Amino acid sequence: MKLLITGSNGLLGQKLVALLRRQPLVQLVATSRGANKLAELYPEVRFVSLDVTDRAQVERVLAQEKPTHLVHTAAMTQVDECELNQEACWLQNVTAVEYLVAACEQQGTHLLHLSTDFIFSGEEGPLTEDATPAPVNFYGESKLAAERVVQVCRVPWTILRTVLVYGAAHDYGRTNIVLWVRDSLRAGQKINVVDDQLRTPTLAEDLAQGCWLAAQRNATGIYHLSGRELLTPYQMALQVADFFQLDKSLLVRVDASTFSQPAKRPARTGFIITKAERELSYQPHSFQEGIALLARQTEAA
């Protein structure tokens, strides 16, 4: 198997590289826009610079590498930025997918595409794979449009949807709920945390494992990959504070109306992962185990 990853500098991309470089039967190609952030960590991994919004580059790289499988993780995922810069969002999240689909069709490459719970309205959850999408923001609209592009491609395809991914990554500017809560409380800062949104938070290592299980099995169709526990961000923050023995009184319980954000968030999502457990043998960590893993990775750093 020759597997190409887009977005290898991102959180999921980094976890996929870390996992797949150890697989003896995988010829791995990491690609991302700009310089390779993992060059010092994994000098043995082949890296090719690739801007997925450049059609000619996409065609050239896939023709050159001829991967059997492509895991597409690159996307514009900052929800408010997508709302404010819709043209850039569409280019990165939809047009780029059209280019990748066309190139995969030329090379006969199995496309595994990452998607999101934000394609749903938030009126109910947790959700199965056959729930009806109805996005409430532009990011969700773009990711749903990309799914529809993937679903009509003429090569094997897999859509892997996920929820609120958290993890520690090398030279990675963005934070996540676990690190944000830990670092804020350590600094003695009061933070507002919403308690009226429900999610099934996903450890980045678990998501990478789910992607690999799907690729290994040549699984096709739609799979929901997340944690099992349905939690509000406030409940997550309480667990983080408890784990690191920090002051929970600094956590201010609020509802989403407290924040004035450009993009609306779905109130209740979360996934039912029975299909992935049954068909892929997907077994995610508990949220507590995920916090412990992050602690080991970041405290040792």
CATH of the domain at 98: 3.40.50.720
Residue carrying the six token digits 């929800």 = 79
C-beta separation of 51 from 57 below 8 A? yes
Is 218 a member of any domain?
yes
Asked if residue 172 has pLDDT above 80, the reply is no
> What average pLDDT does range 16-24 have in this prediction?
97
> What average pLDDT does range 164-188 have in this prediction?
93
Residue 158 β-bridge partners: 112, 221
Q: What is the mean pLDDT of the chain?
A: 97
Asked if residue 301 has pLDDT above 60, the reply is no
Q: Per residue in 206-243, pLDDT tens?
A: 999 999 999 999 999 999 999 999 999 999 999 999 99
Is 216 a member of any domain?
yes
d(CA 90, CA 85): 9
Distance of CA 31 to the CA centre of its chain: 16
Is 175 a member of any domain?
no
Exposure of 247 by Cβ count < 10 A (0-12 exposed, 13-18 middle, 19+ buried)? exposed
At residue 83's C-alpha, the angle toward residues 78 and 85, to 5°, is 90
Q: How many domains does the chain have?
A: 1
Which pLDDT value is given to residue 181?
97
> What average pLDDT does range 48-77 have in this prediction?
98
Is 299 a member of any domain?
no
% of the chain at pLDDT higher than 70: 99
> What average pLDDT does range 68-92 have in this prediction?
98
Which pLDDT value is given to residue 171?
85
Query: Distances in Å between the alpha carbon of 101 and those of 71, 129, 141, 248?
Result: 12, 22, 19, 47
At residue 223's C-alpha, the angle toward residues 291 and 112, to 5°, is 95
Domain with 124 in it: 2-166+202-227+271-280
Is 265 a member of any domain?
no
Token pair belonging to 182: 């830990």
Is 45 a member of any domain?
yes
Asked if residue 282 has pLDDT above 60, the reply is yes
Token pair belonging to 281: 């043998």
- Check residues 76 and 170 and name the one with the higher pLDDT: 76
Which pLDDT value is given to residue 60?
98
Is 127 a member of any domain?
yes
Which pLDDT value is given to residue 300?
64
Q: Per residue in 100-135, pLDDT tens?
A: 999 999 999 999 999 999 999 999 999 999 999 999
